[in-house]
Structures are given as structure tokens and as C-alpha cells.
Amino acid sequence: MVSPKPIGLKWRSSTLFIVSTVGIGLFTDLFLYGLVVPILPFILRDRVQLQPDQIQSHVSALLAAYAGASVLFSLPAGIIADRLPTRQLPFLTGLTALLLATLLLFLGQNVAVLVVARVLQGISAAVVWTIGLALVLDTVGPENLGKTIGSIFGFISVGELAAPVLGGVIYRKSGYAGVFGLGFAILALDFVMRILIIEKKTARRYGHHEGGEERNGHTIEEEEEDAGDEDEPNEEDPLIRKEEKVSYKVPPGQAKWIRSFPILYCLRDPRLLTALLLAFGQATLLATFDATIPTLAQKLFGFDSLEAGLLFIALVLPYLVLGPVAGWAVDRYGTKPAAVIGFGYLVPVLILLRLVRAGGKSQVIIYCAILALCGVGMGVIGSPSIVEASYVIQLYDKANPEFFGHQGPYAQLYGINSMVFSLGLTVGPLVSGSLKDAAGYGNMNLFIAALCLVIAVLSFVYIGGKPSLLRKIIK
């Protein structure tokens, strides 16, 4: 007996709704993370009754608890997700952890409770980012991953960059109740959307297909078309050109721990490692801007938290506009141009930040203009990492379907990506803050520019495969 179709099956399983839900989920995670950061010192002072000289160390410990939990739980979340029949259950579990974390932060009266809250927040981040990105790939397929990820990252960057300032402003106006009231409202919207999701593979059981039956994140018709084109590589679409399967074949007789966690075998591939480095670089840049813009604006221009928050508009708007465009370009022309041009472009732009001086309106305009140029670069580098890593893993999965299982190792991949991204979010403020204090803002940006240069060079060598010139030299 066939069960009746769920109400709203068509729109609940549509690509737009599923991708929007993932976007809201990732936005919620970053937004709530940033929203509570500026009020942590006040929680420690007013509720926990810590002495002023103890607050900074405890704030750092709470930030580290979040990052540490996210790093530790990202890979296990991916492994579990790849072994479950559905993505929705772990996706909801991650939100439950975030809800509990926010409640504990709202009510916590001692350090231990606050640490537990931050750990739960880190676990939620690990689950949401891992499962969310895997769900996006399941939904749109690898051929549309670039523009989708570009759109999502452009949207969620608003939460990551602007939430700390917004949290400070709301706290000043309405206290804890206003800050956490906004947090719970966003959580409620997120929860409703995640409950309503119907994955495409579930929708197929009710006879609903959107653009053909899917398998491993893309339609069977597309797979058959790709298979028919294998003998004729298409240089116009680098993401689907033919690769030598033997290069991605996993030799038999692998150790038990490799068979249990097959994604680990792929980490020997320099192309995949470079793709993960792109994610680390992107997160480091985001966190560096987040950590330095408010303090620099206060020091050079005398801005308060609200005025400093407005500066983020110059950075975020180009990111929002260019993210989808750059993602389309990645889908069309491959990951190498976006990675090399994006990180290479950021090198001189970051160095230009040395020009900013204390002053009035003219200096503020100069700073906003350079931040906008930085936003352009951030929009370009938003999607190459995820797209490249997914493509490399797809090559391994197609060459070794029995080794990676029915769903493939995609959630495991995004678990590792989440872990690397979290490391970037942790390292960014620590390194930039230390360098800014020790060597000055200009020299700090010189160091970050050097990191971008290294990533651009490695991207030229490895991302999208070795360039033909290097292959000729090696031969």
C-alpha cells in the first residue's frame, strides 16, 4: 500500500527551498556565534562576577571551546551522515544542540555552564556545516555547485561579519533580552524550515521527480550524457572533463582504519589538500576582518560600535553581489581561474590597507573604498574550495564506488572542510590580533597578503589539475 503524498511535496522538495533552508541554517550558526561574542565580557562580569583582570582570559577560553568542539566533531559528523539513510535527522540534531546552547548562554550563571554552551554551539556548527553542504550537493549536483555555494556564502557572510556589531548595538539598547530574543526568533524560523524539508530521494519514493531521477547528487540522465561524452573531453568545461581513472583508483589491501574512514586516503592528494587550504584562507580572511575592523575604526576614527558596524557594508555588498556571479564562472570555466585570480588580486588590495591613517571623512572614504575592493576578492574566492574538493572526491568515488559506499564520502569531506574552516576562524583573530599589536595594522595585512600569495601560487599548480605548461616541463 502506497502512503499518501505529504502536503506540499513539490515545493518542500524543490531545489530552491532545500538550498534556502541550508543557507538559513548556516546563516543561523554564524549569526548566533557572532551575536553573543560582544556580550560575553558582560555576561562574565555581571552574572559570573569575575574580576576585570580575569575576563579576557575567560573570553578567549570560551571562544576556544567553540572552535575546539567544531574541529573535533566535524569529521565524526561527516562519517555518521554518510552512513545514515537521510540528511534531515542529523541536520535537525545540529539545530537542537544550537537551541540548547543558546538557552544555556541566556540562563548560565557560572563558567562551567557557559563552557558547555559554547561546546554545544561548536558541535552544532560541525553538524550543520557538514550536513548542510552535503545536502546542497545531493540537491543541485556538482555541475551547479559553484554558483549555489557562491550565493550561500555571500548571504551568510552578512551574519558572520555584521552579527558581532549588531549584538553590541542591541545589547546597548535592550540588554540580554533583546539579544537572545532575536537569536531565538531566528532559531524558530530555522527549525520550521528544517522540519518542512523533504529530500529529493524521499520525494522520489512518492513518484515526484524534479529534472530526472537523481543518483549521487545528479540526475541519471546527466550521468548517461557524461558517460557518452567521456571519449570526447570538453576543454570548455573543466569541471567535467575526462580524468584518467587509474590515477584515482584505490589499491586493494588498505588498512582497517582507512577502510573505516575512506576519506582519509584521499587526503594524500595535493589537489584536495590545496582545495582545503583555500577554505582555510577564506575563513582566516573573514575572521581577520571581523576582528580588526571595529577596533581600527575606534582607534583611527573614534567610531562607536554602530558606526563601526556600518563599515562592514562596504565589505559585504560586493561579496553579496559577486558571490553568485563568481560561482557561475567557476561552474563554467573551472576552479583554477577563480582561485588564482581571487587570491592573487587580494595581495595588492590588502597591502593598500597600509594607506589608511587617522583622520576625518576623507580617510573613512579611503578605508571604505579599500574594504569594497577586498569584498570583490572575497566574492571571487567564495566557491572554488568547495567545488574543487567535491570534484576531486567525485573522481575518487566514481573510480571506487564499492570502496566509498552508496552515498559516497561527501559528508566526510564536508566534515573535514568544516574542521579546516573552523581552524581558519580560530587562527584569523588570534594571528591578526597579535600581529596588529606587535607590528601594526599595515604589517599585519602584509602578512595576510603573503598568505594569499602562497595560496594563489599553490592554486595555479594544483587546483583544477596541473597546468599544461607544468605537465610539459615535468615530462
Could you tell me the residue ranges of all domains in the chain?
9-202+265-474
pLDDT of residue 274: 93
Instruction: In whole angstroms, give the CA distance from residue 380 to residue 424.
Output: 18
Cα–Cα distances in angstroms (integers) from residue 188 to residues 37, 184, 192, in the given order: 21, 6, 6
* pLDDT for the residue numbered 106: 85
Which of helix, strand or coil describes residue 218? strand
Residue with cell 570534484: 391
Cβ-Cβ contacts under 8 Å for 344 (sequence gap 6 or more): 452, 453, 456
Q: Beta partners for 215?
A: 218
Please count the other Cβ atoms lying within 10 Å of the Cβ belonging to residue 248.
18
In the prediction, which pLDDT does 36 show? 74
What nine digits make up the cell of 264? 582519509
Q: What is the pLDDT of residues 267-323, one digit of tens each?
A: 888 889 999 999 999 888 887 887 777 777 877 888 766 677 677 778 878 877 787
Say if CB 294 and CB 164 are below 8 A apart.
Answer: yes
Element counts in the chain: helices (H) and strands (E)? 20, 2
We find that the CATH architecture of domain 9-202+265-474 is: Up-down Bundle (1.20)
Could you tell me the three cell numbers for 212? 530526472
pLDDT at 457: 94
Interstrand relation of 214-215 and 218-219 (parallel, antiparallel or unpaired)? antiparallel
The grid cell for 237 is 568545461
Distance CA 58, CA 56 (A): 5
Q: Minimal CA–CA distance to 427: which of 56, 68, 7, 55?
A: 68
The per-residue pLDDT for 231 is 41
Please name the residue that has the C-alpha cell 596588529. Answer: 436
Residues 17, 34: Cα–Cα separation, whole Å: 25
Residue 199 and residue 284: Cα distance in Å, rounded? 33
For residue 219, what are the β-bridge partners? Answer: 214
Q: What is the DSSP string of 219-288?
A: EHHHHHHHHHTTTS--TT-GGGS---GGGGPPPSS--HHHHHSTHHHHTT-HHHHHHHHHHHHHHHHHHH
Q: What is the reported pLDDT for 430? A: 76
Torsion angle of C-alpha atoms 284, 287, 288, 293, degrees rounded to 10 = 160
Looking at the DSSP assignment, which residues form a beta bridge with residue 214?
219
Q: What pLDDT is attached to residue 226?
A: 46
Q: Which residue, 321, 320, 339, 18, is CA-closest to 160?
A: 320
Cα radius of gyration rounded to whole Å, the chain: 23
d(C-alpha 125, C-alpha 384), whole Å: 21
- 383's CB contacts (< 8 A; 6+ apart) are 145, 146, 147, 149, 150, 153, 323, 326, 327, 330, 338
Residue 266 · residue 403 · CB < 8 Å: no
CB 220 within 8 A of CB 214: yes
pLDDT at 91: 80
CB half-sphere exposure, 381, CA atoms < 13 A: 30
Which regions of the chain are under pLDDT 70? 1-3, 37-38, 56-57, 60, 142-143, 145-146, 150, 154, 157-162, 164-165, 208-246, 304-306, 309, 405-408, 468-475
To 10 degrees, the CA torsion angle through 77, 82, 83, 87? 80
Tell me how far apart the alpha carbons of residues 153 and 27 are, in angstroms, rounded to a whole number. Answer: 9
Q: Are 358 and 297 in contact (CB under 8 A)?
A: no
pLDDT at 471: 55
Q: How far is CA 150 from the centre of its chain?
A: 10
Distance CA(413)–CA(419), nearest Å, equals 10
The residue to which cell 574543487 is assigned: 388
Please tell me the distance from the alpha carbon of residue 310 to that of residue 166, in angstroms, as a whole number: 10
Cell of 347: 595581495
What pLDDT is recorded for position 406?
A: 67
What is the predicted pLDDT for the residue at 249?
79
